[in-house]
Amino acid sequence: MGTADKPRVVLGVAGGIAAYKACELLRQLTETGHDVRVVPTDGALRFVGEPTWAALSGHPVHTDVWAQAHEVPHVRLGREADLVLVAPATADLLARAAHGLADDLLTNTLLTARCPVLLAPAMHTEMWEHPATAANVATLRSRGVIVLDPASGRLTGADTGKGRLPDPAEIFAVCTRLLGPGRSSLAGRRVVVTAGGTREPLDPVRFLGNRSSGKQGYAFARTAVARGAEVTLISANVTLSDPAGVSVVRVGTTEELRKATVEAAVTADVVVMAAAPADFRPAEFAPEKIKKAEDGSAPVIALVTNPDIAAELGERKRDGQVLVAFAAETTDALPNARAKLLRKKADLIVVNEVGVDRVFGQETNAVTVLGADGSSVELAEAPKEDIANAVWDLIAPRIRHTVR
């Protein structure tokens, strides 16, 4: 840890228009007690000048390998850092980092870092989707570098698409998690997380659903990114902001959730089934709104059972893959969960007792985690991200190295 227990962060800034957003990220880091040294590229200094970085960080700005050569900055900065962050990371920076080039102070720092490295890309959509960039990102991730997926939205000029720098607050949240316990425990792993509650259409205006907000699933996705995982989040009917660095797949019904999850699970090391799929759906969809009968009687609605997605994944599970199921119960929670654990062939099942004003939509949770090996771990009420981190601590040792 840095001087006087202040975490030392190297903030690299590459030459993109999003460099101005790094000023807000720098402010958040310094105001929360981080010791930040800024290393801008020559291109970055064309967008934001050296005095701005110095004023916001409270330190002289490091710009090249020749300044203060007696301190060997190209080695010292990376070696002494607790975290190296590059925001924005341009397509050029990703290419140079992937190929191990060391033609400026920032790429030298990346080569000498022995701490978590986090890259937050920003570029035009065509550049992000180019096969060369995709290959560079894959190479970096295979080495344990955390490369966030860019956000979608307005780019420079009139362009819109995937390539925006993730929101500085989201990047900051990933930084704080990386500096916490469990960092890098999922480096290079592929993780699928489901979240939210499915909706089964009854007619054009009504559906069968549940109270799930998706907050616990989103917490699993955010904490997995901070541990170095490549995360696909399959999201059903939530009103939450996309976590930084996560590939989000949106679904509505249980069948859509099943299809997306089964497809994503093929290459996943871990599948966390935190979503709340509906157990039943209407046998028939009414093409027009169902009206009240003139005599006031209620219509009879036939239901059919939805597929058990976790059980299907359990049957398909590869050797070494970890499946985490969930059991939201109102009574007899542990006996019901143990039966589900066996039936779904899961490795772990996360159990909680739910109700109208319990768990759903709340910021905290309290769970028991049962293992197929007979283990049982109780996690007292805590913020949902703390719960997610504690469960990841149980998952990580269960992942075995497999060849995809």
**What pLDDT score does 87 carry?**
96
Q: Tell me if 148 sits within 8 A of 140, measured CB to CB.
A: no
Report the distance separating Cα 266 and Cα 258, nearest Å.
13
pTM: 0.72
Q: Let me know if 352 is a catalytic residue.
A: no
Count CB-CB contacts under 10 A for residue 288: 8
Decide if 181 contacts 388 (C-beta within 8 A).
no
- What the chain holds in terms of domains, given with CATH numbers, is 3-178 (3.40.50.1950), 201-398 (3.40.50.10300)
Say if residues 90 and 115 touch (Cβ distance below 8 Å).
no
Biggest CA–CA distance in the chain, Å, is 92
- Residue in this structure with the two tokens 């000048």, named with its chain if needed: 49
Let me know: does 47 contact 15? Beta carbons within 8 Å.
yes
pLDDT at position 68 is: 55
User: Which pLDDT does position 66 carry in this prediction?
Assistant: 54
**Which member of 136, 210, 365, 389 is catalytic?**
210
- Token readout for 257 is 């959730």
d(CA 336, CA 272): 19
- Res 404: pLDDT: 42
CA-to-CA distance for 225 and 184, rounded, in angstroms?
Answer: 9
d(CA 110, CA 279): 49
Q: What percent of the chain has pLDDT over 70?
A: 92
Neighbours of 393 (CB within 10 A): 14
Contact at 8 Å (CB) between 203 and 290?
Answer: yes
CB-CB contact of 404 with 267 (8 Å): yes
Partners of 84 in the β-ladder: 10, 117
pLDDT means per 10 residues in the chain (404 residues)? 72 94 95 94 94 93 63 71 95 96 92 91 94 94 86 77 88 85 74 96 92 92 88 94 87 97 96 95 92 84 94 94 92 90 96 68 88 94 91 90 46
Given this model, what pLDDT does residue 183 score? 62
Q: What is the pLDDT of residues 227-250, one digit of tens each?
A: 888 899 999 999 988 887 788 999
The per-residue pLDDT for 403 is 40
**Dihedral class, residue 196 (left if φ above 0, else alpha if ψ from -120 to 50, else beta):** left
Q: Quick one: which of 392, 398, 330 has its CA closest to 358?
A: 330
Q: Environment class of residue 298 by beta-carbon count within 10 Å: exposed (0-12), middle (13-18) or buried (19+)? A: exposed
Token pair, residue 21, equals 């957003």
pLDDT at position 342 is: 95
Rounded Cα gap, residues 198 and 282, in angstroms = 13
Q: What is the rounded distance in angstroms from the CA atom of residue 397 to the CA atom of residue 185?
A: 9
- What dihedral do alpha carbons 277, 282, 286, 290 form, nearest 10°? -100
* Pair of tokens at residue 315: 């049957």
Q: What pLDDT is stored for residue 69 in this prediction?
A: 47
